[in-house]
């Protein structure tokens, strides 16, 4: 009987192994399902998994680069494999890993997931997973290996150290481990010192397939901070065109001051303007990133809206600072020259440049409905009227949460319409900005209680009952923060809630 039980268990196990669904491959990318996911995780120590939706535009843009990266890794016999999951079909996997937007990439090491934070080109994907699955810097033993590193990557950083145990070499390794989207190589071979014409005991070379092609940092300057600054200053082109692939590098780096040229690439005048803009950029390497935003690209319309621009406004320049508070600046000049751009950006750094605040014209019917319409010009007059308690919703027309709130907010205004001491108002924060109030997400609701200069943020439930208590009590009750339910809207609206992410 015992023998029969063992035989039955063995047969069941064998049947399970035979019947398990093996992942198929599409362009070297493993196609995973709920049935084969665990097996794929078990079979691959390192696995990058893309959770996607077939209808998602960003996923479609990523697909060829993702396949190219998968093929490159497979051809090099890397231990890293790339896989994908259609999360609209394999919803259980999407729920398991809390996928809220597309594409979402997770990197699994021995079955343990972490968030992917690299870029979206093949080179950047390969560089990121290679670094996460092995040494932060590839050891180079010959000139041929150095040449191949240069040829295979848009940007590559090489550290040369006579002593690989020196403080400078250790600092280099720290920088390599903490810097994504850049491939690092390291060597102590004299042949490489000779090839790169380095005569000291250590040095750093950044190779790139654009602009001047090479930048050097010499010994005596090799600290973690100096190397990071050097890499951040030189890894991007003097002018980087904004698109899905470059967005991470532009807005995810340590340089938070960005000078943006909005222009049509196909316009005859743009070539000369871009040349002037690029020449000016040379004076601000490491301090400001210069960016071209092609106004002919449909996907860039949202960025233009964010700055209150229309296609007819191009060519024009805007500077944005993404420090603790996001601030925009508009130049006075219209002709784009090296001198004009240099003076404009320099005035930001010397503190003489004044912020540019968007504002709409005041609508004639701003006071016609229970919800009063505020713009930049009438905000202080209405919201800061200390004889009244004023509730203001700062919203974006495209925000899904704002649309959901609208009927509740209208009902709230109706309820208090006959009570003179209360005002319910709203302001479109995509077209109106205030110097002393910075809005980072939508909707943001603030109360300006009467008889006070205090401003109270509302973080309670977005229900008529809760908001009524909050307003009627002049902000003293009804503001208990509640955990909001997860939103089922698509990832685009979810990302749009945060203004910095929108950029």
Looking at the structure, tell me whether residues 298 and 276 fall in a common domain.
yes
- Give pLDDT, residue 144: 96
Looking at the structure, tell me whether residues 364 and 470 fall in a common domain.
yes
What single DSSP character describes residue 298?
A: G
pLDDT digits (tens, 9 = 90+) for 279-335: 999 999 989 999 999 999 988 988 888 888 888 899 999 999 987 677 889 998 889
Q: Nearest 5°: phi and psi at 113?
A: -85, 150
Of residues 142, 137, 141, 143, the one with CA closest to residue 157 = 137
Looking at the structure, tell me whether residues 256 and 230 fall in a common domain.
no
- pLDDT at position 12 over 50: no
Looking at the structure, tell me whether residues 122 and 144 fall in a common domain.
no
Separation of alpha carbons 497 and 503, rounded Å: 11
Of the two residues 206 and 498, the one the predictor is more confident about is 206
Looking at the structure, tell me whether residues 381 and 342 fall in a common domain.
no
Last residue of a domain, one of 111, 131, 151: 131
Separation of alpha carbons 369 and 365, rounded Å: 8
Looking at the structure, tell me whether residues 110 and 34 fall in a common domain.
yes
Separation of alpha carbons 154 and 35, rounded Å: 38
Say if CB 410 and CB 371 are below 8 A apart: yes
Looking at the structure, tell me whether residues 84 and 151 fall in a common domain.
no
Q: Which two tokens stand for residue 419?
A: 């009570």
pLDDT digits (tens, 9 = 90+) for 24-56: 999 999 999 999 999 999 999 999 999 999 998
The residues facing 257 across adjacent strands are 321
Q: Which two tokens stand for residue 145?
A: 């290996």
Residue 13 lies in a domain: no
pLDDT digits (tens, 9 = 90+) for 393-431: 999 888 888 999 999 999 999 999 999 999 999 999 888
Of the two residues 21 and 412, the one the predictor is more confident about is 412
What would the DSSP string read from start to end of 301-314?
HHHHHHTT--GGG-
pLDDT digits (tens, 9 = 90+) for 69-82: 999 999 999 999 99
- Say how far residue 443 (Cα) sits from the centre of its chain: 21
Looking at the structure, tell me whether residues 339 and 262 fall in a common domain.
yes
- Give pLDDT, residue 1: 47
From the CB of residue 452, how many other CB atoms can be counted at a distance below 10 Å?
Answer: 13
CATH number at residue 248: 3.40.30.10
What single DSSP character describes residue 300?
A: G
Q: What's the domain count of the chain?
A: 4
pLDDT digits (tens, 9 = 90+) for 96-129: 998 888 899 999 998 989 899 888 889 889 988 9
Separation of alpha carbons 416 and 409, rounded Å: 11
Looking at the structure, tell me whether residues 465 and 380 fall in a common domain.
yes
Q: Which of 28-37, 252-261, 435-444, 487-496 has the lowest mean pLDDT?
A: 487-496
- Give pLDDT, residue 53: 93
Q: Nearest 5°: phi and psi at 40?
A: -65, -40
Of residues 177, 172, 207, the one with CA closest to residue 187 = 172
Listed in sequence order, the DSSP H helices in 134-214 are 143-152, 167-178, 190-195
Q: Which two tokens stand for residue 427?
A: 């302001």
**Integer angstrom CA distances of residue 444 from 115, 253, 296, 421:** 28, 27, 32, 22
Separation of alpha carbons 234 and 216, rounded Å: 10
Separation of alpha carbons 95 and 500, rounded Å: 26
Last residue of a domain, one of 349, 375, 409: 349
Of the two residues 180 and 283, the one the predictor is more confident about is 283
pLDDT digits (tens, 9 = 90+) for 245-273: 788 778 777 788 999 999 999 999 899 99
- Give pLDDT, residue 33: 94
Say if CB 226 and CB 172 are below 8 A apart: no
Looking at the structure, tell me whether residues 150 and 126 fall in a common domain.
no
Q: Sorting pLDDT into bands at 50, 70 and 90, what band is 495?
A: very low
Residue 145 lies in a domain: yes
Residue 335 lies in a domain: yes
Q: Which two tokens stand for residue 379?
A: 């905000």
Peptide bond into 68 cis (omega under 30): no
Average pLDDT over residues 364-379: 94
Range of the domain at 85: 20-131
Residue 9 lies in a domain: no
Last residue of a domain, one of 349, 381, 400: 349
Looking at the structure, tell me whether residues 213 and 345 fall in a common domain.
no
> Across all residues in the chain, what is the average pLDDT?
87
Residue 6 lies in a domain: no
The residues facing 427 across adjacent strands are 374, 394
What residue has token string 């904004």?
Answer: 242
- Give pLDDT, residue 399: 87
- Give pLDDT, residue 246: 82
- Give pLDDT, residue 107: 93
Buried b (16+ CB within 10 A) or exposed e, 427-451: bbbbbbbbeeeebebbbbbbbbbee
Residue 453 lies in a domain: yes
Looking at the structure, tell me whether residues 121 and 198 fall in a common domain.
no
- Give pLDDT, residue 275: 95
Say if CB 50 and CB 90 are below 8 A apart: no
Please name the residues in contact with 247: beta carbons below 8 A apart, sequence gap of 6 or more. 503
Question: What percentage of the chain reaches a pLDDT higher than 70?
Answer: 90
Residue 167 lies in a domain: yes
Give the sign of the dihedral formed by CA 177, CA 178, CA 179, CA 181. Answer: positive
Separation of alpha carbons 420 and 409, rounded Å: 17
Catalytic residue positions, numbered: 56, 59, 399, 402
Question: What percentage of the chain reaches a pLDDT higher than 90?
Answer: 60
Helix (H/G/I), strand (E/B), else coil: 426: strand
Separation of alpha carbons 125 and 132, rounded Å: 11
Say if CB 475 and CB 445 are below 8 A apart: no
Any idea what the Cα angle at residue 267 is, between residues 266 and 272, rounded to 5°? 110
Say if CB 258 and CB 240 are below 8 A apart: no
- Give pLDDT, residue 334: 86
Residue 309 lies in a domain: yes
């Amino acid at each position: 009987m015992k023998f029969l039980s063992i035989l039955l268990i063995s047969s069941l196990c064998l049947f399970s192994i035979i019947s398990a669904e093996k992942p198929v491959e599409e362009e070297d990318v493993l196609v995973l399902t709920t049935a084969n996911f665990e097996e794929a995780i078990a079979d691959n120590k390192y696995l990058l998994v893309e959770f996607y939706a077939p209808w998602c535009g960003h996923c479609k843009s990523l697909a060829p680069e993702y396949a190219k990266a998968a093929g490159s890794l497979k051809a090099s016999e890397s231990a890293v494999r790339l896989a994908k999951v259609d999360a609209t079909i394999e919803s259980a996997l999407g729920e398991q890993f809390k996928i809220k937007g597309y594409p979402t990439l997770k990197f699994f090491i021995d079955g343990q997931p972490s968030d992917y934070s690299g870029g979206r080109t093949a080179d950047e994907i390969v560089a990121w997973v290679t670094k996460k699955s092995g040494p932060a810097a590839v050891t180079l033993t010959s000139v041929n290996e150095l040449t191949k590193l240069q040829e295979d990557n848009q940007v590559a950083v090489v550290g040369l150290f006579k002593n690989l145990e020196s403080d400078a070499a250790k600092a280099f390794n720290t920088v390599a481990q903490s810097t994504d989207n850049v491939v690092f190589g390291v060597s102590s071979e004299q042949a490489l010192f000779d090839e790169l014409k380095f005569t000291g005991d250590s040095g750093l070379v950044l190779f790139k397939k654009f602009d001047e092609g090479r930048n050097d940092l010499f010994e005596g300057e090799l600290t973690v901070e100096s190397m990071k600054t050097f890499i951040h200053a030189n890894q991007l082109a003097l002018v980087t065109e904004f698109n899905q692939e470059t967005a991470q590098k532009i807005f995810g780096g340590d340089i938070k001051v960005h000078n943006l040229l909005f222009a049509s690439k196909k316009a005859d005048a743009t070539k000369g303007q871009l040349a002037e803009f690029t020449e000016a950029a040379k004076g601000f390497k490491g301090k400001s990133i210069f960016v071209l935003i092609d106004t002919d690209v449909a996907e860039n319309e949202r960025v233009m809206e964010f700055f209150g621009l229309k296609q007819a406004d191009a060519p024009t320049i805007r500077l944005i600072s993404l420090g603790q508070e996001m601030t925009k600046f508009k130049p006075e000049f219209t002709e784009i020259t090296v001198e004009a751009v240099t003076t404009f950006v320099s005035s930001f750094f010397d503190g003489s440049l004044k912020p540019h605040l968007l504002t709409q014209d005041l609508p004639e019917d701003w006071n016609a409905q229970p919800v009063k319409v505020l713009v930049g010009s009438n905000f202080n007059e209405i919201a800061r009227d200390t004889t009244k308690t004023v509730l203001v919703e700062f919203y974006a027309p495209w925000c899904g949460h704002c649309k959901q709130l609208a009927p509740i907010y209208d009902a709230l205004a109706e309820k208090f319409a006959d009570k003179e001491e209360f005002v319910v108002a709203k302001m479109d924060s995509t077209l109106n900005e205030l110097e002393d109030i910075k809005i980072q997400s939508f909707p943001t609701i603030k109360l300006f209680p009467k008889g006070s200069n205090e401003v109270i943020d509302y973080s309670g439930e977005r229900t008529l009952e809760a908001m009524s208590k909050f307003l009627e009590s002049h902000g003293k009750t009804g503001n208990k923060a509640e955990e909001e339910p997860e939103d089922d809207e698509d990832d685009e609206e979810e990302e749009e809630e945060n203004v910095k992410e929108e950029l």
